[in-house]
Amino acid sequence: MAYYVGADIGGTTVKLAFITEKGQIVHKWEISTNIHNNGEEIPKEIVYSIETKMQELRIPKEELLGLGAGAPGYVNTNTGLVYEAVNVGWKNFNLKDKLSQRLQIPVYVTNDANLAALGEYWVGAGRNIDHLITVTLGTGVGGGIVVNGQVVNGIDGSGGEIGHVVVTPNDGPTCNCGRRGCIETYASATGIARQGLEEVVKPVDTSLKNIFATTGTLTAKDIFEQAKDGDLVSKQIVENTTNLLGIMLANLATIINPGVIIIGGGVSKAKDTLLNPLKRAFEKYCLDHAFHNCEITIAQLGNDAGVVGAAYYVKQHMNKK
């Protein structure tokens, strides 16, 4: 057998997997992300963990085709340099060199969300659809764009950063990127909760007030559940969120003409309470022709999308040679 190794590096864990040439995970595991010393030890710990697993599973080095690694930041995909990954502490960090020097197999590095898009394209909800968009609604809003079967990295690694498309330019909330009104400030789990917290201090009747009084907090999940149960304020938040997300996706679809838009992340667990109003907004704003050719659906690979996409990224690059 021959395997790809996928590594999906996040702020709390590094997800790792051995993956077949057909995209099947044969073994997956996690290590915690060592953010001490500005994340300097992370590559060493990844390599050590892979080598330990190889011994455990009796996989000889000759059977490893290559390692794909996703980093949570902008990456120069030619050199493997991560410009900045705030969550793990890296700044101008040459991840590719550090991994390949130790492991002695081909290493390819790119942005984690872009790899998740490739994973869904290879064996997930976007199988055989050469033009697609993925959106991950989690703590932030991540995304990836696949065109002609290739993920869009852009000229210098910030391609596909759809969470930072501005939807309310003048008076929007401040985003982590320093600008205002990015879709992330509304459609992330954090952004949806923020909209709920803004409502509970107003003199309007909403069941969110009871939840806040009992638990001292509000989550995106609470808001979707209350919207489903008919709470008007919660419904309004869902409507506002899906309307803005619909504008952003309709504009992207008008440019790209994708066959599918795949929604993932924790917020996507709301399923139809999210998808139905989102589809309506998407139809309202999208160019007709682009709308009629595009499904909106829920992601299939969950947390595995990154490692699977990392394997596919290696496969694509090795086939080019």
Task: By CB under 5 A, name the binding residues for Zn ion.
Answer: 164, 175, 177, 182
Nearer to Zn ion, 175 or 267 (CB): 175
Task: State the Cα–Cα distance between residues 256 and 251, nearest whole angstrom.
Answer: 9
Task: State the Cα–Cα distance between residues 40 and 95, nearest whole angstrom.
Answer: 10
Mutual angle of helices 95-103 and 42-57, in 10-degree steps? 30
Closest C-alpha to 255, from 145, 180, 161: 145
**Least Å distance between CB 179 and Zn ion?**
5
Cα 178 to the chain's mean position, in Å?
A: 20
**Least Å distance between CB 158 and Zn ion?**
11
**Helix residue spans in the chain (DSSP H):** 42-57, 95-103, 112-123, 184-187, 189-200, 207-215, 220-228, 232-256, 272-285, 288-292, 305-320
Nearer to Zn ion, 70 or 142 (CB): 142
**Least Å distance between CB 182 and Zn ion?**
3
Give the tokens for residue 252.
């992207």
**Least Å distance between CB 185 and Zn ion?**
7
**Least Å distance between CB 116 and Zn ion?**
19
Nearer to Zn ion, 54 or 177 (CB): 177
Nearer to Zn ion, 126 or 142 (CB): 142
Task: State the Cα–Cα distance between residues 183 and 2, nearest whole angstrom.
Answer: 41
**Least Å distance between CB 162 and Zn ion?**
10
Task: State the Cα–Cα distance between residues 187 and 141, nearest whole angstrom.
Answer: 7
Nearer to Zn ion, 33 or 114 (CB): 114
Nearer to Zn ion, 96 or 164 (CB): 164
